[in-house]
Structure 1
């Protein structure tokens, strides 16, 4: 069962990274009706994969791996979890922006977004990508038993 949960954890992680990369690519281009719809759908996939990743990860911590005590004393794990939470909080801004477009999208129009707001969303997505790199570093350190 541990192998199944490890697989699911990795699947969710790769899905999350792919969704952030797709969002980053879409928000860099011209905002059209089609790209705005893709952004909204991709953000939903991102949210679902993040929630599943957290739940599956916590199940692994409590039931399938080395046990809660081990992870509680692993600085790499605590850093990884803290960064994940920071990314989740950062992602609220783009999600709220994308959700605000629903009315325009239902009307068949591309949303009107200020250059300033798009720049903020781009900066946040940059930050999310950087944070994901740090999470991967923490995961590699954890896998080698470091920072315990």
Structure 2
């Protein structure tokens, strides 16, 4: 029962990551970008990613397959590598949003520069692509203990 619960929670949290990234992408297409909203959403995205890691660790420790299954599974390590790449790709948009938020506090009429908006859109899009590969690798991980 614990394994099922943790697996279900892991999947629900993953869907949350996808929704938050898709929402960020949509907000980055608005003119002007709603700075405060996207900054708050990014905080939620970071918290959800942290929850994803915690639930994943719980699955490894208390799940049905156990550490030995994961430790010897190359797909698992590929999935972990992809997740690290996603985390790294999320740093720059977060820094951009923080810069925007600070600028908007100083000047209520602040509008983000097009180049910054485009950079954030590209990095958020890259994260979305990497999440697709996480799904593909996760499916392989569940089927082939390589």
Q: For residues 31-50 of structure 1, what are the structure 2 equivalents within 5 Å?
A: 31-32=32-33, 35-50=34-49
Aligned-pair RMSD on alpha carbons?
1.7
Distance 1:111 1:93, change over 3 A: farther
Q: How much does 1:102 deviate? A: 2.5
Alignment length (residue pairs): 145
With the length of structure 2 as denominator, give the TM-score of the two structures. Answer: 0.90
The CA distance in 2 between the partners of 1:31 and 1:100, in whole Å, is 15
1:104, 1:110 within 8 Å by CA — same for their partners in 2? no
> In the alignment, what sits opposite 2:28?
27
1:1-148 matches, within 5 Å, as 1-32=2-33, 35-106=34-105, 109-144=108-143, 146=144, 148=146
C-alpha offsets along residues 102-126 of structure 1, whole Å, 9 cap, x if unaligned?
2344457254322222211111111
Q: Distance in 2 between matches of 1:17 and 1:40?
A: 17
Q: 2:79·2:134 contact (CA, 8 Å) conserved in 1? A: yes
* Deviation of the 1:83 alpha carbon: 0.2
TM-score (norm: length of structure 1): 0.89
Q: Which runs of 4+ in 1 moved over 6 A?
A: none
Partner secondary structure for residue 65 of structure 2: coil
Unpaired runs of at least 5, structure 1: none
Measured in 2, the distance between the counterparts of 1:78 and 1:110 equals 46
